[in-house]
Structure 1
Amino acid sequence: MAARALPAAAAVQALRSVYERVRVAAERSGRSASQVNVVAVSKTKPVSLIREVYDAGHRHFGENYVQEFIDKAPQLPSDIRWHFIGHLQSNKAKSLVANVPQLYMVEGIDNFKVASLLDRAVSLLQRNPLKVLVQVNTSGEESKSGVEPSACVELAKQIKADCPNLEFSGLMTIGMQDYTSTPENFKALVNCREDVCKALEIPQSSCELSMGMSGDFEQAIEMGSTNVRIGSTIFGAREYPAKK
């Protein structure tokens, strides 16, 4: 069964509603909306719908599946800032970088092997350094990818020291499976940022926190998120092909 998408007008209206909710949540956190980036997560959604949201002025989009990503990206404008979100298999790192030249950020580095492979792929293409976020498993769920909070500093240091073609840009967490992360999940990532910034001797303002999705992004912003990943609230519920 194909993914059911919202009508284009509804998706654009939903995007504007998200912007307003981000603005209010940012103000509650003592910041402006310009300090919070919205990534429209478009996995399973058709290129035509992504284009409508793009035409409304949005530029940051996210995908989770490499092959789907590779298929979609060439069909869309080159000034889109694409985010790959979640666990990236090591055998797909080279393909992702080679086939999505406008790849802006990888949100989900959870081991140094993947970081090294991405670094090598970027080097071969002689493109600008690729922004990356270290994924931290803040909920402790075995099904989740990501390093333990206690290991985030070491991985960030390795990327910073040994991957010249990657730009360590911060930390991300997926949160709870039902999108209802507790404040403790978000606080764990905030604490990781404090530790990483101290170890790398960088200001916290240069270390992004990507946390918060459709069900909990306002709470995440109030706790300091600088990057929220919104899928179903903008594009409608996802429907995956039935398993045969």
Structure 2
Amino acid sequence: MAVNEENYKEVLEKTNAAHATLVAVSKTKPVSDIQALYELGQRDFGENYVQELVEKEAVLPKDIRWHFIGHLQSNKVKYIAPFVHLIHGVDSEKLLFEIDKQGAKNNRTIDCLLQVHIAQEETKFGFDENELKLFLETFPKYQALEKLKNVWIKGLMAMASFTDDMEKLKQEFAVMKALFQQQAKPETSNLKLETLSMGMSSDYELALEYGSTMIRVGSLLFGARI
């Protein structure tokens, strides 16, 4: 079995202690590895590529909660809309409207997280702090316009810089925690910021210290990706 059971139990214990959710990042990993972790009790799995996710969903147990954690193109939403549990990386209004459209076609409400850009790398996607504030101030008005009835914004997601500099990571996580707390608003029919998704294999413990409610861990559980 390619799954590191010892690491899994350790990460799960720390995640549970923080009352957070562990998403096992299974991208590029074979179905057999996902099944092995499933048999240990894991139900939340994260994938980065639409085609790979669709193929795995078709053959794995139907009670798996699939998280799409990669950069999602609008023209590919339709393929995962029938079953996806949570879309982590909503980085534009255009994408949100497409998710709503596909949710309506499938007669379901799709949960989403808004991706916030806190890292310094230019390769990261997402809203910056000002864009996020403006969007969340405007978003509740969409309800009155009878729009976006098939999406529910459940929180925020961020990817910290890929670095060993702990002070930089602390700074980025602190910014994200503050932003999450500032933007928490009374629940509406399609907006309830209750999830803060940040932290991966290399920094999940620090992320939990800074209030993460959902971590995305892959290599610690499955080994390094090829």
TM (norm. structure 2) is 0.88
Q: Is the 8 A contact 1:137 1:145 kept in 2?
A: yes
Instruction: For 1:133, give the aligned amino acid.
Output: L
Match of 2:55 in 1: 71
Whether 2:124 is the aligned partner of 1:144: answer yes
Counterparts of residues 1-244 of structure 1 (less than 5 Å): 7-8=1-2, 10-23=3-16, 32-33=17-18, 35-98=19-82, 101=83, 103-127=84-108, 129-157=109-137, 160=140, 161=142, 162-178=147-163, 182-197=169-184, 200-202=185-187, 206-239=193-226
1:175-228 Cα shifts (integer Å, max 9, x gaps) = 11347661111112112212321xx3349x952110100000000000100000
Secondary structure at the aligned position of 2:160 is classed as coil
Instruction: For 1:151, give the aligned amino acid.
Output: E
Q: Is the 8 A contact 2:120 2:161 kept in 1?
A: no
More helix by share: 1
Q: Is the 8 A contact 1:179 1:213 kept in 2?
A: no
| Percent of pairs with identical residues | 38
Q: 1:179 to 1:104 in 2, by over 3 A?
A: farther
Q: Is the 8 A contact 2:47 2:68 kept in 1?
A: yes
1:32-81 Cα shifts (integer Å, max 9, x gaps) = 44x20000000000001100100111100000111111111111111111
| Separation of aligned partners in 1, 2:52 and 2:150 | 25
RMSD: 2.0
Once the two structures are TM-superposed, the CA of residue 130 in structure 1 deviates from its matched residue by 1.2
Q: Is the 8 A contact 2:22 2:215 kept in 1?
A: yes
| Separation of aligned partners in 2, 1:179 and 1:37 | 24
Once the two structures are TM-superposed, the CA of residue 13 in structure 1 deviates from its matched residue by 2.7
Secondary structure at the aligned position of 1:207 is classed as strand
Q: Is the 8 A contact 2:114 2:155 kept in 1?
A: yes
Instruction: For 1:115, give the aligned amino acid.
Output: L
Structure 2 residue runs without a partner (length 5+): none
Q: Is the 8 A contact 1:111 1:147 kept in 2?
A: yes
1:18-41 Cα shifts (integer Å, max 9, x gaps) = 123335xxxxxxxx44x2000000
| Separation of aligned partners in 2, 1:168 and 1:223 | 21
TM (norm. structure 1) is 0.82
| Separation of aligned partners in 1, 2:22 and 2:45 | 8
| Separation of aligned partners in 1, 2:137 and 2:13 | 37
Once the two structures are TM-superposed, the CA of residue 94 in structure 1 deviates from its matched residue by 1.5
